Structure 1
Amino acid sequence: MAAMTRALLLLLLFVLAIWSAEGQQRVYDVLDFHAAGDGKTDDAQAFLAAWQAACSDGRGEPVMAIPGERVFLLSQVSFQGPCKSPITVKLDGNIVAPNNIWTKQEASLLTFFGIDHLTLDGNGEIDGQGAIWWDCYSRKTCQDRPVLLGFARCNYLTVTRIHLKDSAEKHMTLFQCSQVIVDSVSVTAPADSPNTDGITVAFSNNTYISNCAIQTGDDCVSVLSDTKNITVTQSRCGPGHGISVGSLGGSETAMVEQITVSNCNFVGTMTGVRIKSWQGGKGYAKGFLFQTLNMTEVQNPIVIDQFYCPQGNCPIKNGGVAISNAKFIDIQGTSSEQEAIRLLCSQSVPCQDIYFSNINLSWANQTAPANATTLNAHGSTAGMVVPRIQFSDISFS
């Protein structure tokens, strides 16, 4: 009996040891895979080796660790899935791109592709060293510039705390992703850096962006076609071009719905919240809520533009992306130009069901009241709306 008791006890201890081991996160440190971390040696192969080991670990929730107080130079790296377990990339060190023109094709410095239940978290920074690219672009010698951080076909994705800096072009892209949380991420690039959007969402759904601080040379957040249920909240934008939906309908049939921007601050941006589409486009964009927003010297705080044409001299075309059911509620602050609100809609496909309530926007110049321009926009207002909106079929409640 005593021998049987000892055997059962040993078996129990063995099972508990297995459970304990399975419950621990195994850490795959890039330094253990021969990353130099000196900011000079290309550590791409070491990162890929660490990723492959972590991604192949099916015994729990492995961690790929990028330690602090180190700088890792990376050329183009693509982390492929699927992985055998939910996986975390812990970025505490800094990653830098090569300080040269390292590609002539569309690319991302870092790409995560086909990975479900991925978390990217840490206090580290990814620096795109974009200045050389911006100069190349201004001289018209760079046709394609790389994105800093790209996610494609990643579901149940979480990105938190990291800092993105000076991308050659867009900083973060989400393409064909679902169930995404981006929280407490910061993005910085000079106000005159070209096309350096902060976060771009396309062909994705159920994305929640919160507590982010974005300073760029283009849109802080841009929402492109084939998107649904996208929320941006508790975030700061500026400098930059604002938070934009579009441009839509340029080469694709637009499908955008259920977009919310709430509790955000805009400081010194070109626009605040904007929906923009090309003449002659097809498709729809509907179900917008822009609520509890504060504007500080924003050039044009509220814009709907169905005549988007950044290069100018676009030919007149009939048709357009149907924009409808857009609510603007509790928006306060100042515009740096007298035109605080611009609603420019197509005669053939006018904007429908546009609603304004509790709007108070003044011209920062203070020499005259702010004003609003409307064209082929149909909707209603409630409560105080300053400047006054003159809809095509306005009704007051």
Structure 2
Amino acid sequence: MLLIHGVAHSPLSVYIHCSKAFLATWQAACSDQSRPVMLVPGRRTFLLSQVTFQGPCKSPITIQLEGNIVAPNGIWTKKPVDLLAFHAVDGLTVDGNGEIDGRGAIWWDCYNNKKRCGTRPILLGFSLCNDLTVRGIHLKDSAEKHMTLFQCSQVIVDSVSITAPADSPNTDGITVAWSNNTYISSCSIQTGDDCVSILSYTKNVTVTQSTCGPGHGISVGSLGRFETAKVEQITVSNCTFVGTMTGVRIKSWQSHAPLIYGVINQGGKGYAKGFLFESLNMTEVQNPIVIDQFYCPQRNCHTEPGGVAISNAKFIDIQGTSSEQEAIQLMCSQSVHCHGIYLSNVKLTWAKHTAPANAAILNAHGTTDGVVVPGIQFSNSL
């Protein structure tokens, strides 16, 4: 076992400039052929900034995170970096009961009130990491996203907790992009943005036995803004949503082109297909079920033809309450309709109201089976 060295080891201390010690220990672990364990000891807090653990390594590595890691308590970078990053490390396990704290409050204040800090650090980033397991750790108060998976394959994220205030900007819990075969289970995510966001060029993602809220829900997208979208085989099952903006959502830039640097981009292209949303419980979620092909948060978009084709989405056994009357939104574009939408055993009521919840449907084609409340009136077939 390799212990973080190069710093004092008195308990309950905060250490300054620990990055070099972490990197030196990593180099020893990465060159070890006997499946080393790198221990971040408990009852200690380590101050780090922009540390990248680079692979490939000579054997699988386990990082046992029992102590805590904190970011500098200030605006410490102007670059798009990760506080802690792993690049091209196969067979990596990050395990333990320790916490990584991004100390994000000063960044959120800078972004919200001073109109600066548009580029903020991500807390924990993995890129080109295959056969990755992240288990048991706690992530807290990232300046922006908490965990990102980019071009990773065969990933397990289990029993991870993520917390940030409900009003913290863009503090997504877990973002998956350009990756495949990702399994997220038994996680608790409370943030100011998507609990889990699934982006383009991603296939075979499962989110199960997890809780979400506060936050924006579990979202696929936004798709098609800058590139052709390719997303398929997404499952969200046995999850609980409490007080979120949406429950499960597929959102794309289809039919809108953002005005960027004075140039009108084309509408989104590509596809998103093969969704199963099953056995979900909603408690006072604003809009529990959403398909939105008109996504444009800045409201500066120009309508364009074309778009991301959304198809084969199943919503089964979804129960609970919405905080807004419109519990279901299936809003698809005129140029690229949604097809293969299926709802079965869905019962959503408007919380604290005697009036029923309702659904908004536009250019969506599909079927229902069994009880579906609010009722769905699909568009006529083409």
Q: TM-score, normalised by structure 1?
A: 0.91
Q: Which residue of 327, 330, 338 maps to 2:325?
A: 338
Contact 2:7–2:15 (CA under 8 A) maintained in structure 1 = no
- Pick from 92, 95, 98: which aligns with 1:118? 92
1:90 corresponds to which residue? 64
Q: What's the counterpart of residue 179 of structure 2?
A: 204
List per-residue Cα deviations over 1:154-203 (Å, max 9, x = no partner). 00000000000000000000000000000000000000000000000000
Give the secondary structure class of the aligned counterpart of 2:302: coil
Give the partner amino acid of 2:345.
Answer: N
Residue identity in the other structure for 1:207: T
Alignment match, 1:107: 81
Letter in 2 for 1:28: L
Q: What is the CA-CA distance between 1:33 and the residue it aligns to?
A: 3.6
- Deviations, residues 89-137 of structure 1 (Å, cap 9, x unaligned): 0000000000011110100000000000000000000000000000111
Paired letter, 1:211: S
**Alignment match, 2:258:** none
Aligned pairs for 1:1-397 (under 5 A) are 27-30=1-4, 32-34=5-7, 38-58=13-33, 60-138=34-112, 139-278=114-253, 279=255, 280-393=267-380
Secondary structure of the corresponding residue to residue 165 of structure 2: coil
SS at match of 1:149: strand
Q: Deviations over 1:340-373 (max 9, x none)?
A: 0001001110000000000000000223000000
Cα deviation, residue 319, structure 1: 1.1
Note the C-alpha offset of 1:142. Answer: 1.0
Code of the residue aligned with 1:95 in structure 2: it is I
Is this contact kept in 1: 2:68–2:100, CA < 8 A?
yes
User: Tell me, which stretches of 5 or more residues in structure 1 are unaligned?
Assistant: 1-26
* Separation in structure 2 between the aligned mates of residue 196 and residue 85 of structure 1, nearest angstrom: 33
CA RMSD of aligned residues (A): 1.0
Task: Pick the structure with more helix per residue.
Answer: 1
Larger radius of gyration between Structure 1 and Structure 2: 1
Query: Could you tell me whether the CA contact under 8 Å between 1:182 and 1:209 is conserved in 2?
Result: yes
Q: Specify whether residues 367 and 141 from structure 1 end up closer, same or farther in structure 2 by C-alpha distance, changes over 3 A only.
A: same
**Structure 2 unmatched ranges of 5 or more:** 256-266
SS at match of 1:258: strand
Contact 1:35–1:46 (CA under 8 A) maintained in structure 2: no
Residue type of the alignment partner of 1:180: V
Q: Name the SS of the counterpart of 2:42 in structure 1.
A: coil
Amino acid at match of 2:39: A
Aligned length: 366
What is the one-letter code of the residue matched to 2:79?
Answer: Q
* In 2: Cα distance, 1:367 partner to 1:193 partner: 33
Q: Secondary structure at the match of 2:301?
A: coil
